[in-house]
Chain A
Amino acid sequence: DAKTTQPPSMDCAEGRAANLPCNHSTISGNEYVYWYRQIHSQGPQYIIHGLKNNETNEMASLIITEDRKSSTLILPHATLRDTAVYYCIVRSNNAGNMLTFGGGTRLMVKP
């Protein structure tokens, strides 16, 4: 699976948009970009995923560049409960489909 690079930490003011970048320059054509987050020591929580097109759901938006080498997760109105470690994962559709977690970005939402 392609490796991802994320900033280790970011701060965001409550109520503002949080934009979390991810670089995956070695992504191949059949690999999806997934985002999960982990609040404290809870189980990772699925947020969103995409292949080529931008995606939006009730939690977030995912913007994937045209060359697919990077993406941005957008939390439109961050709240204190969004403080967590956010993981960007590139996943192939090979047999197994395991997730390879990197270090993630520790997002701190501040009042």
Chain B
Amino acid sequence: DSGVTQTPKHLITATGQRVTLRCSPRSGDLSVYWYQQSLDQGLQFLIQYYNGEERAKGNILERFSAQQFPDLHSELNLSSLELGDSALYFCASSGLGATDTQYFGPGTRLTVL
């Protein structure tokens, strides 16, 4: 158990809908990362937040957004969903030091029908 929690475990929805994925980081970690893993793209970095502020952005679509709240949990919002958004979404957390290790949650499996 990494200490990172994600809810829900599974999500099935229809195209055009909007969903919210939730992540709680390990105790004491200020940094949260979101990654997407689809069959054809592998694991890809989406976005990072540190102590409530966006710190780095990867290949995140404009339809996707995220935020980190004062209690440090983070939410990833996916809107206008398309079939191709079906994937595993992982959250990771770490401190901000150069050698701070990222620990991953169990993921949310999103299926868009």
Contact = CB atoms under 8 A, between A and B. Distances in A.
Interface of A: 30, 32, 34, 36, 38, 41-46, 49, 87, 93, 95-103
A18 B112 CA distance: 38
| Majority secondary structure, B binding face | strand
A34 B92 CA distance: 15
Interface of B: 2, 4, 31, 33, 35, 42-45, 48, 55-56, 58, 88, 90, 92, 94, 96, 98-107, 109
B90 A44 contact: yes
Given A43-B106, A46-B103, A96-B55, A103 B45 contact: no
A45 B2 contact: yes
12 contacts: A41-B107, A43-B92, A43-B104, A44-B90, A49-B101, A96-B55, A96-B56, A98-B48, A99-B33, A101-B35, A101-B42, A101-B44
Contacts of B43: 38, 44, 87, 99, 101
A64 to B, nearest CB: 15
Contacts of B103: 46
Nearest to A38: B43
Contacts of B48: 96-98
A17 B56 CA distance: 38
Contact of B104 (A34, A45, A96, A102): A45
A3 to B, nearest CB: 14
Contact of A99 (B88, B102, B106): B102
A34 B33 CA distance: 17
Contacts of A44: 43, 90, 92, 104
A70 to B, nearest CB: 21
A43 B105 contact: yes
Given A96-B48, A97-B94, A46 B102 contact: yes
Nearest to B101: A46
Among A44, A97, A99, max chain B CB count under 10 A is at A97
Given A34-B101, A43-B90, A103-B42, 16 more contacts: A41-B88, A42-B106, A43-B2, A43-B104, A44-B92, A45-B104, A46-B101, A46-B103, A49-B99, A96-B48, A97-B96, A97-B100, A98-B33, A98-B48, A99-B43, A101-B42
